[in-house]
Amino acid sequence: MNPTDLANQAQDSARRALDLAGQAQGSANRALELAEQARQALEAMAPVAAAAEPFLYLLTIFLLACFVGYHVVWSVTPALHSPLMGVTNAISSVIVVGAILAAGTADGFVARMFGFLAVTLAAVNIFGGFLVTRRMLSMFKKKGG
């Protein structure tokens, strides 16, 4: 390859990187919009939830977090999937620590079982995330020696 071809390839790579950065910015902006909508919904429901039982209030927060998480994850471009998986694995490891604390300090049998279930699901999420990330990264390795 001559230097002109290499320079053209470098320019093409730089353009693709800028396009991906723009897509990432769009996804981040969408996530911020969803988070703001969720915050506004929580503020609107705060008086009602304060009068309700604590379980109902916490269930509402959980369902809103699931909704926002679903939309954030599905708005990520495929090119950003591997780095995002690494971050989610780190978040899941923090969740495991919290779940272990919750299971260990719980008073009732049901609370301990939910804590154990949380530890198990977060551990499966971490293990599966590393497997998926490893497999995706192996797709970019050169074949042969």
User: What is the pTM (predicted TM-score) of this model?
Assistant: 0.42
pLDDT > 70? residue 104: yes
The interaxial angle of helices 81-105 and 109-138, nearest 10 deg, is: 160
Does the pLDDT at position 145 exceed 60?
no
pLDDT at 37: 81
Q: Please state, as a whole number, how many other Cβ atoms lie within 10 Å of the Cβ of residue 136.
A: 13
Domain boundaries defined on the chain? 1-76, 81-145
pLDDT score recorded for residue 82: 65
Average pLDDT for the chain: 76
24-49 pLDDT, tens digit per residue, is 777 777 877 877 887 787 777 777 65
pLDDT digits (tens, 9 = 90+) for 51-82: 666 777 777 777 887 787 777 767 767 666 66
Least confident of 70-74, 96-100, 115-119, 126-130: 70-74
